[in-house]
Structure 1
């Protein structure tokens, strides 16, 4: 019996066209802008081989907290993501998640937390993570 190749399941994938990051006033503006920059970078790096439903993501940082430790602090954020169809404006997917990280200072924490948020969105929507290149990635692709 010959094995049949199965096409990868794409019914839950979307062609993400853009993302908008919003937050309450008490959330750091650096966290919002860095999250937006990283997600947009991943969207621009993603190319789909098949036609998929086109969507726009609305990413809301609903809560960002700091838990001081003896050295540094643990930072966490609660995120909700809505995928809205480009063609008709209907919400076609929604989800929530939390991320956390440890950092020694607050400035560094915003960047690390934004990276964790982006990593989760990249994973869920199967985007391409095009992180900054380094000498190692340039020499060893």
Structure 2
């Protein structure tokens, strides 16, 4: 039996695996969104629910308050704008899709230093659950992009355990 066909099929497989490997560039800036975020302001269009705005604002502010930096960084304030929310009802629940724009504004100069937008969606069995889930996903995305601490959200059992009940 000849191993030539096996070798010929193995070469493209090895090349394909090695093509997915990427070495980091030596001068690449990996901390480009690392700022000392001092506060956040969440706004939205008039047709966006107030619960979504308030919940997102609360979660982002909580992440900002839980974050401490050990080095001096440029101080910024975040403006979060929920541009468009599309609710849709499915057979077994609700789906909300939101387009969000975030700007980081320098505290010292007042100039925007970073801006970006993203889309987030959530699926839930109830309308209120979908709004809460969407707010959580938006806040988690902002926290991960700006490397903010994501405080653990307490559930009933962990709140009971922390209170000394367990």
Higher relative contact order (CA 8 A, sep 6+): 1
Unaligned runs of 5+ in 1: 1-7
Unaligned runs of 5+ in 2: 1-28
* Stretches (4+) displaced over 4 A: none
The CA RMSD measured in Å over matched residues stands at: 1.8
Match of 1:107 in 2: 128
1:122 to 2:155 alignment: no
1:52 to 2:73 alignment: yes
Q: Which has the higher strand share?
A: 1
Instruction: Please identify the structure whose Cα radius of gyration is greater.
Output: 2
Matching of residues 80-95 of structure 1 within 5 Å: 80-95=101-116
1:36 to 2:53 alignment: no
Matching of residues 62-101 of structure 1 within 5 Å: 62-101=83-122
Matched positions, count:
131
Relative to the length of structure 2, the TM-score reads 0.74
Q: Distance in 2 between matches of 1:63 and 1:10?
A: 29
Q: How far apart are residue 66 of structure 1 and its match? A: 1.0
Q: In 2 relative to 1, CA 9–99 (structure 1 residues): closer, same or farther, beyond 3 Å? A: closer
Q: Which has the higher helix share?
A: 2
Match of 2:36 in 1: 15
